[in-house]
Amino acid sequence: MKVNRNKYLLLNYVFVVCLFILFLNDHFFKYEFSNFLTGKLSDIVGIIILPLLLTYIFPKLKVHSLWVSALLFLFWKSSYSEGFINLYNQYALIPITRVIDYSDLVVFLLLPIPYYIIKNVENWNSIKVMHFHPLFVFIPSLFTLMATSPPPSFNYTRTKGNLHCFKCNITVNYSQEEIVRKLRNNNIVFDTIFPMNEKVLERNPYFRKNNIYFYKINQLVIDQDTLRNLDFAMRSIDRNKTKFYFNGMQVNENVSTAKLMRKARKHYRKMIFKELKTSLKN
């Protein structure tokens, strides 16, 4: 028996725009403009998208997809989903993670939006996206929704400094021990070295094979600049290859706006990696 799906549940401007925002926020905005809004934006558009997607996949749900979406969202944001995430990550090609924050449940206030669309989309011609096959939206929406949680790297790329450097890393052909030794020989000494928290490893057992360690330098002088409280992490790729992350530091200059943060991040990232690469070559 053929299932009669309404393609305009996906092929409408609200769904498409929300999907586009979701993708940009998870892969760009969160890293370039880290603030309260970008932290909540994925949940805001996600709770609009999910009921529409569920109704498209399971047409008999109709408006019941709203409370199904609410229950799924509540489960995902609770500690009860921990076991499912751990099981999934043991076999998944793309591991997932998420942050438990019950304040995110405020997005339930937006459920009237998908409700109205589900009830009226058939006759609401002004929001319909014509001349496209729904698969062009359906498939990207599945991958995008899977990526709404923080990436696994979130667990080892955080900093207590006021300058955050997201996606700031290099790959070097040395083990972590060799990196520490080479840097020490060039007067770059880590003041603190510690492994990943055992609770994080229990939640993400696939991290164990990566041998992830955190490194901190209280003070580093490069040319005429004195840098303070630098946070690093290293993740072993194999025996002689390591991913070296610069996570952030404490700076005196004003980084209160996204523009100032990007400028400072670019400046210090270039300076620090240049110094590290030079020291590792010697």
Q: Where are the domains of the chain?
A: 7-150, 154-281
Q: Which pLDDT score, from 0 to 100, does residue 34 have? A: 63
Q: Which pLDDT score, from 0 to 100, does residue 101 have? A: 72
Chain position carrying tokens 């008999």: 60
What class is the 154-281 domain?
A: alpha beta
Report the pLDDT averaged over residues 24-34: 74
Q: Which pLDDT score, from 0 to 100, does residue 91 have? A: 64
3-class DSSP state for residue 191? Answer: coil
**Which of 65-69, 131-135, 245-249 is predicted with the least confidence, judged by mean pLDDT?**
131-135
Instruction: Give percent above pLDDT 70 in the chain.
Output: 89
pLDDT-derived band at 143 (thresholds 50, 70, 90) equals confident
Which of 49, 39, 52 has the alpha carbon at shortest distance from 5?
Answer: 52
256 vs 72, residue with greater confidence = 72
Instruction: Give percent above pLDDT 90 in the chain.
Output: 43
Chain position carrying tokens 């972590």: 176
Highest averaged pLDDT of the listed ranges 48-57, 86-95, 197-206: 48-57
Spell out the residues 6+ positions from residue 175 whose beta carbon is closer than 8 angstroms to its own: 236, 239, 240, 242
Report the pLDDT averaged over residues 17-35: 80
Report the pLDDT averaged over residues 126-137: 88
pLDDT-derived band at 175 (thresholds 50, 70, 90) equals very high
Q: Which pLDDT score, from 0 to 100, does residue 201 have? A: 79
Which of 108, 110, 102 has the alpha carbon at shortest distance from 81?
Answer: 102
CA distance 100 to 96: 13
Q: Which pLDDT score, from 0 to 100, does residue 208 have? A: 83
Q: What is the pLDDT of residues 66-79, one digit of tens each?
A: 999 999 988 888 87
Rg (CA), the chain: 23
Average pLDDT, the chain: 85
pLDDT-derived band at 92 (thresholds 50, 70, 90) equals low
Q: Which pLDDT score, from 0 to 100, does residue 97 have? A: 64
CA distance 38 to 176: 34
Spell out the residues 6+ positions from residue 111 whose beta carbon is closer than 8 angstroms to its own: 47, 51, 66, 69, 70
Residue 258 has pLDDT above 80, yes or no: no
